[in-house]
Amino acid sequence: MIVRIVQMTFQKEKVTHFISFFESRKHLIRNFAGCNHLELWQDTNEDNIFFTYSIWDNEYALNKYRFSEFFKDTWTITKAMFVAKPQAWSVNRKIVV
């Protein structure tokens, strides 16, 4: 499994718009082939910093999503609200017993 974490910093006046936009699309992301989980997190100190946390079957599934027309449209709208460059990490999910 692949975990994808994306940090996004928004213009303060765009936070409410971003949350509404995310709410309108989250079910489509969650239903994308290979997506097992999706959460939206908000920073505890800076209310305009958000993280998406998603779990994917594998890198192929993640990349299929990332290069889809749906993602391109979603990302174009989302990045117009940024105040800083986003950061993203893909990590292998390991279970430690």
* pLDDT, the chain, mean: 96
pTM: 0.92
Residue type, 9: T
- Take residue 42 and report the two structure tokens written for it: 């908000």
pLDDT at 93: 76
Q: What whole-number distance in Å separates Cα of residue 1 and Cα of residue 64?
A: 15
Q: What whole-number distance in Å separates Cα of residue 17 and Cα of residue 14?
A: 5
- Take residue 51 and report the two structure tokens written for it: 């993280």
How do residues 34-49 score in pLDDT, each as one tens digit? Answer: 999 999 999 999 999 9
Q: Which of the following CATH numbers is that of domain 2-84: 3.10.129.10, 3.30.70.100, 3.40.50.720, 1.10.3720.10?
A: 3.30.70.100
Checking if the pLDDT of 97 tops 90, the result is no
